[in-house]
A = this chain, B = another copy of it.
Amino acid sequence: MPEHPPPPPGSINHPPMLDLTIDNITPNVERINSQSGDRRLTYLMSRLTSHLHDFARETRLSSEEWMAALDFLVGCGQISSDVRHEFILLSDVLGLSLLVDSINHPKPSRSTEGSVLGPFHTHDAPVLPNGSLMSHDPEGEPMLAVCRIVSTDGKPLPGAMVDIWETDSSGHYDVQHAGRQDPSERCILESDADGRFCFRGIKPVSYPIPNDGPVGKLLEKLKRHCWRPAHVHFMFQKDGYDNLITALYLRGDPFVESDAVFGVKASLVIDLEKITAEWLESEKKEGRTYEGVKEGEWLLKRDFVLVTEEETKALRNKNAKEAMEVMGLKVRLEDGLPVPEIDASDLD
């Protein structure tokens, strides 16, 4: 049984809250949530309360709908595990993930665009040498990926760590298989002196996001499909550069224009090629050989353009300032994040 904690000093000294109504509850809740001295937290709670309450007022949310929503949220928490995050999935299908990524990782036009992380990235992918086989699925169609990482001024970026993950040929990530032992269809590579990295995977396939939980049931109610177009995930990390979370999508996939999680950008849609004797020969002339690959197998070629942290931060701040002006919000930026111009503690 929890002990009964004493109230923090001052926490019962605010204006009395009696007779809260539909019309006056919001400012009262905002005020009581403004005592932490953490301006950012105050701002987040104030906007959250305002939107949550307006949602209830605008929809005249019924008690039954309220209860159903709270039970839905419990269900999302209870189906989540170390290898499944139903709230990321919920955020994905509501477009929030894409939006948050766009806000945090703005891309100048000459760089590679971002896409959603999704719920299937893990932290146990093996670090492999370039050229390694990262898929152990005998049913998959072999695909060699030959890529390069450059800066926005076209210089190769060596020593970048690249996290790569995709499904097997049945459209499931390794973590979706019961009894998963070792990671498969995932690896971490390091770009070489020329900024290059390469791996042997399989041609990605379209697949449904997990549809056996509350989020799947929601999509069903909404008569939405739960499919993602075929893609390979990439995450790039290099000191001094903004982390890039992105994916490449296959042109011609039936779901490329209706991705259930809104991740597709036109610039990230690619055509696979086929490996030819000529290409292998020309690569060999450059001193690059690929063990275990055969003519006629799939070939993914792609350059990725990373942006410096500095440029990203400047662009993010510029976007934030412009947005605040357009929305007419009385805030200032602290560490790039909006906080109230004046908060309750200034008034004490």
Stretch at the interface among A9-17, A158-166, A301-309: A9-17
Asked if B11 contacts A223 (CB within 8 A), the reply is yes
Closest to A57 in B: B323
1/0 contact string of A53-92 vs chain B (CB within 8 Å): 1111111111101100011011111101000011110010
Across-interface contacts of A323 in B (CB, < 8 A): 22, 57-58, 60
A339 to chain B, nearest CB (A): 10
Q: Give A11 Cβ to nearest chain B Cβ, in Å.
A: 4
* Chain B residue with Cβ nearest A61: B100
Closest to A256 in B: B18
- In the complex, what distance in Å separates the CA atom of A197 from the CA atom of B62? 30
- Asked if B28 contacts A262 (CB within 8 A), the reply is yes
A27 CB to nearest B CB, Å: 10
User: Does the CB pair B41–A222 fall under 8 Å?
Assistant: yes
- The answer to whether A212 has its CB under 8 Å from any CB of chain B is yes
Would you call A258 and B12 a contact (CB within 8 A)? yes
Known contacts A11-B258, A95-B20, A222-B45: A56-B4 contact under CB 8 Å = no
Q: Are B257 and A12 in contact (CB under 8 A)?
A: yes
Q: Which of A56, A88, A101 has the most CB of B within 10 A?
A: A56
Per a CB cutoff under 8 Å, which of B52, B96, B221, B266 touches A36?
B221
Q: Closest approach, in angstroms, between the C-beta of A90 and any C-beta of chain B?
A: 8
CB distance from A109 to the nearest CB of B (A): 12
* 17 A–B pairs (Cβ distance < 8 Å), ordered by A: A2-B210, A17-B262, A18-B257, A18-B266, A19-B265, A21-B102, A22-B99, A25-B99, A33-B224, A47-B58, A59-B338, A60-B323, A62-B337, A63-B101, A63-B104, A63-B105, A77-B80
